[in-house]
Amino acid sequence: MDNFTLPEEDDEEIDIYAALGLNTPIEENQTGVNIYDPLAAFMDEDDDDDVVAHGMFVETASPVSSERVEALIATLARDLLDEEILHSSLEGGRVDLSSVKVERDRDAYHLSLIVDMGGHQIKPFATVLAVENNWKPLAPPKGLHARWKPLYESLCRALTSALAQQGQPSTI
Q: How many domains does the chain have?
A: 1
Evaluate whether residue 39 is within a structural domain: no
List b or e across 87-124, with b for residues whose CB sees 16 or more CB atoms inside 10 angstroms: eebbeebebeeeebbbbeeeeebbbbbbbeeeeeeeeb
Give 133's pLDDT tier (boundaries 50, 70, 90): confident
- Put simply, whether the predicted model's pTM sits higher than 0.85 gets the answer no
C-alpha to C-alpha distance for 98 and 75, rounded to whole angstroms? 9
Evaluate whether residue 31 is within a structural domain: no
Mean pLDDT value of segment 30-39: 60
Evaluate whether residue 10 is within a structural domain: no
Q: How many CA atoms lie within 13 A of 87 on its CB side?
A: 5
Q: Give residue 161's domain range.
A: 66-171
Evaluate whether residue 93 is within a structural domain: yes
Evaluate whether residue 143 is within a structural domain: yes
Evaluate whether residue 76 is within a structural domain: yes
pLDDT digits (tens, 9 = 90+) for 88-106: 877 778 888 999 999 999 8
Evaluate whether residue 135 is within a structural domain: yes
